[in-house]
Amino acid sequence: MMSNDSRNHVKGWLRIKHLALLVTLDESRNLHATSRHMNMSQPAASKMLKDIETFFGMTLFYRQPRSMEITDAGRLLVRYARTILNDTDRLIDDLVSLREGGHGKLVIGAVPGAAPLLLPKAITTIKSRRPQLAVSLFENSSDRLLADLEYKRLDVVIGRVTEHAQHHLFDFLPLQAEPVSIVVRAGHPLCERPPGLGEVVRWPWVLHPMSSPMRGLFEVALAEAGVATPRNVVETTSTQTTLQLVSSSDAIALLPTSVLKTAISAGKFTALPLVIGEPLGYYGVLTRKGEEISDVVGEFIDTLLMRDEP
């Protein structure tokens, strides 16, 4: 185990610029591009990388003829470097906001199914209490949102755990289950009679990427029915793009039922009478484990949990 003196030595020696070099090099895998991005010479960047590797006593990047290949130790260090840099960016933003008389910032990530149901009321409530609070909302699939939460690009996520190991990274408060529906444009040929799974997979589809829980649910349902995966697929996590593609073609989409309520009531879309597996399971509030929750995030979570109260 590392002694306190050794820990203090690391904290005293390591600089923000060292971390920026590692993250930039991980993204570019090219020392020349990294040095140019950081406004330093390539020899200086090479020396800085060598100094970091010497300090930790480990190779962080293998030098290949045309690229840099990251090692396991490098990947571990880059992960923490990226978190610290994002935290530093947030510190700068908060200090600027404080200096200019602002009242903080709340950055929320949410799966599409949660956005139309829970968030408008919760955001309206917290804004009524804190009118000058800057609120940002990003919609995506849970796997991508949790990566951003881990690296501190987001303060809180409304989503679900996608891997068992994530229970060690995040605290989870369940909110509600999320049923899904198969949707087509109004007047689609499949609306004339109830289709089966074997028939709908022959049509074009708009789906979430394979890594998302919703796509996983779909693939499991197909496998259990002995039906092959659709071949003609456009992948996107954007609900708006999905609805536009469906409305302008004969494409079929799988979307949270909550997302479709407004669209279907407007007469533009129809949900096919097909059941795709069980609901996706409970989505809920996710925060970083072991980290103190800010007053703003705590108030936002309390607002979400009181959603059923008058």
For residue 172, count other CB atoms closer than 10 A to its CB: 18
> For residue range 112-145, what is the model confidence (pLDDT) as tens digits?
777 676 788 899 999 998 888 889 999 888 889 9
pLDDT surpassing 50 at residue 211: yes
**Cα dihedral: 206, 208, 210, 216 (round 10):** -100
Verify that 108 and 222 share a domain, yes or no.
no
Cα–Cα distance list, 187 to 183, 200, 224 (Å): 12, 15, 29
Among 49, 80, 111, give the residue marking a domain's end. Answer: 80
Say what the pTM is: 0.58
Taking residues 280-293, what's their average pLDDT? 83
**pLDDT for the residue 9:** 80
Residues linked to residue 177 through DSSP beta bridges, in sequence order: 282
Residue 234: CATH number of its domain: 3.40.190.10
Q: What number of residues does the chain have?
A: 310
Q: Looking at the domain assignment, is residue 94 inside a domain?
A: no
Tens of pLDDT, residues 39-67: 999 999 999 999 999 999 999 999 988 88
Among candidate residues 24, 48, 80, the one where a domain is terminated? 80
- Do the domain assignments include residue 288? yes
CA–CA distance, 256 with 179 (Å, rounded to integer): 6
Distance (Å, rounded) from C-alpha 250 to C-alpha 204?
A: 7
CATH of the domain at 76: 1.10.10.10
Please check whether residues 51 and 184 belong to one and the same domain. Answer: no
Q: Note whether 130 and 210 are same-domain residues.
A: no
Output the CA–CA distances (angstroms, integers) from residue 290 to 158, 195, 235, in the order listed.
Answer: 18, 49, 35
What pLDDT was estimated at residue 308? 43
> Rounded to an integer, what distance in angstroms lies between the CA atom of residue 232 and that of residue 172?
36
Q: Does 298 lie in the same domain as 265?
A: no
Which domain range does residue 251 map to? 180-271
3-state SS, the chain, equals CCCHHHHHHHHHHCCHHHHHHHHHHHHHCCHHHHHHHCCCCHHHHHHHHHHHHHHHCCCCEEECCCCEEECHHHHHHHHHHHHHHHHHHHHHHHHHHHHCCCCCEEEEEECCCCCCCCHHHHHHHHHHHCCCCEEEEEECCHHHHHHHHHCCCCCEEEECCCCHHHHHCEEEEEEEECCEEEEEECCCHHHCCCCCHHHHCCCCEEECCCCCHHHHHHHHHHHHCCCCCCCCEEECCCHHHHHHHHHCCCCEEEEEHHHHHHHHHCCCEEECCCCCCCCCCEEEEEEECCCCCCHHHHHHHHHHHCCCCC
Q: Give pLDDT tens digits for 164-183.
A: 788 889 999 888 777 788 99
Residues 117, 263 within the same domain = no
My answer on whether 168 and 301 are in the same domain is yes
- Residue 86 domain-assigned (yes or no): no
Instruction: Identify whether 243 is part of a domain.
Output: yes
Query: What pLDDT, on the 0 to 100 scale, is given for residue 102?
Result: 58
How many domains is the chain built from? 3
Residues 162 and 125 in one domain: yes
Residues 113 and 281 sit within 8 Å (Cβ to Cβ): no
The larger pLDDT score, comparing residue 282 to residue 95, is at: 95
Residue 310: predicted pLDDT? 39
Residues 59, 203, single domain; the answer is no
The span from the CA of 267 to the CA of 262, in Å, is: 9
Residues 6+ apart with CB under 8 A from 53: 59, 60
Please tell me the distance from the alpha carbon of residue 226 to that of residue 88, in angstroms, as a whole number: 50
- The pLDDT tens digits of the residues spanning 22-43 come to 999 999 999 999 999 999 999 9
